[in-house]
Amino acid sequence: MVDVTISEAADRLLRGEVVAIPTETVYGLAADATNASAVAKIFAAKGRPDFNPLISHVADFAQLEALVTLDARARRLAEAFWPGALTLVLPRLPGCPVAPAVSAGLPSLALRMPAHPIARELLARVGRPVAAPSANRSGHVSPSTAQHVRDSLGPEIAVLDGGACKVGLESTVIGLTGERPALLRPGGIAAEGIEAVLGEALVQPTDRKLQSPGMLLKHYAPRLPVRLDAAAPQGREGLLSFGRPLSGFATVYPLSESGDLAEAAARLYAGLHALDQMPGLDGIAVMPIPQQGLGVAINDRLTRAARGR
């Protein structure tokens, strides 16, 4: 187990090494986004296909200037939601120093200013954009604790431990390279709030392959099969409950007893990890979760988990 301090994590990044870092959404596997060989180490450690671009993280607005074009929509969203669980996909500026592999060769760059105080201090020290996808093997459940990172990437991985992630779901990804703003990935900030700030509806891209390659992949899959909208147990299942738990299941992991979607989001990955590691279960069942607000992102991740690998 390799626990590092903020200054050791900064040194590693500046030396071109990877390090797992906390953010308020999920843990990220970080590398200097301007260093192509460091970025290659992220893809290798995750087993991630190289057509799937990465999010770059910055500490402040000054760092954005050389990277992308911010139009009025981007400024409005950044002002409303940064630092926070929002990623904006924007046109790269000519001479943008971020390695082309971070964008998987696309003319756009995904950017986020995270809110986690440890992430912010680290980014300020590094002074460069830091690429960081979720710190899990490609296709597996995302990590919301340092232990989840070690379980997925192995004990040798250097981890900056910042406690359990408060939001617990990846950022919402908004594409701003076209005429209309597009919801490329539902996430930790509900689409309704983003539409209210923009004053217009988000479009759901029909050709997701072109716009957000990552969304095509099977993702978030635990070892056990996942069954949605459960009303009664089928075999020895563990239940992810929402609201009052159903009875008859081998074990119950409550996402939120009070039916609070933010609480359920924060507990989702921990619940999937916990049930997946529990001996003697033959599946994970999930109670219905309302398809509104953060429920959209929760259902998105659960649907992918249920599809399996």
Residues 77/183, Cβ–Cβ less than 8 Å: no
Contact flag: residue 138 with ligand TXA (CB under 6 A):
no
| Minimum separation from the CB atom of position 233 to ligand TXA (A) | 32
Q: Which residues bind Mg ion (CB under 5 A)?
A: 134
Give the count of beta carbons closer than 10 Å to the beta carbon of residue 283. Answer: 19
Nearer to Mg ion, 91 or 143 (CB): 143
Query: Residue with CB nearest ligand TXA?
Result: 214
C-alpha closest to that of 218 among 281, 283, 132, 308: 308
**Binding segment (CB under 6 A) for ligand TXA, from list 154-162, 209-217, 269-277, 280-288:** 209-217
Cα–Cα dist 153/297, whole Å = 24
Q: Which two tokens stand for residue 242?
A: 């929402």
Residue 235 CB, nearest distance to ligand TXA (Å)? 32
Cα–Cα distance between 170 and 142 in angstroms, integer?
8
**What distance in Å separates the CA atoms of residue 58 and residue 65, rounded to the nearest whole number?**
11
Say whether 132 counts as a known binding-site residue. Answer: yes
Question: Does 166 interact with ligand TXA (rule: CB under 6 A)?
Answer: no
Least CB distance from residue 71 to ligand TXA, whole Å?
A: 16
Instruction: Provide, rounded to whole angstroms, the least separation between the CB of residue 10 and ligand TXA.
Output: 17
**The token pair that represents 31 in the structure block:** 């590398």
Residue pair 300/186 in contact by the 8 Å Cβ criterion:
yes
> Of these partners, Mg ion, ligand TXA, none, which one is at the site of residue 25 (CB under 5 to 8 Å by kind)?
ligand TXA
CB 234 within 8 A of CB 220: no
Q: Which of residues 167-206 bind ligand TXA (CB under 6 A)?
A: 170-171, 173, 184-185
Q: How many chain residues touch ligand TXA (CB under 6 A)?
A: 29
Q: Is 164 in the site for ligand TXA (CB under 6 A)?
A: no
Q: Is 52 annotated as a binding residue?
A: yes
- 33/56 Cα distance (integer angstroms): 7
Residues 128 and 146: their CA atoms lie apart, in Å, by 24
Question: By the 8 A CB rule, do 249 and 232 touch?
Answer: no
Interface with ligand TXA in residues 236-265 (CB under 6 A): none
CA distance 75 to 68: 12
d(CA 21, CA 5): 10
Instruction: Candidates 9, 23, 33, 157: give the one binding ligand TXA (CB under 6 A).
Output: 23
165 binds, among ligand TXA, Mg ion, none (CB under 5 to 8 A by kind): none
| Residue from the set 18, 19, 28, 70 that interacts with ligand TXA by CB under 6 A | 28
Binding residues for ATP: 48, 52, 134, 185, 220
Binding positions for ligand TXA, rule: CB under 6 A: 23, 25-26, 28, 52-55, 87, 89, 103, 106, 108-110, 112, 132-134, 170-171, 173, 184-185, 211-215
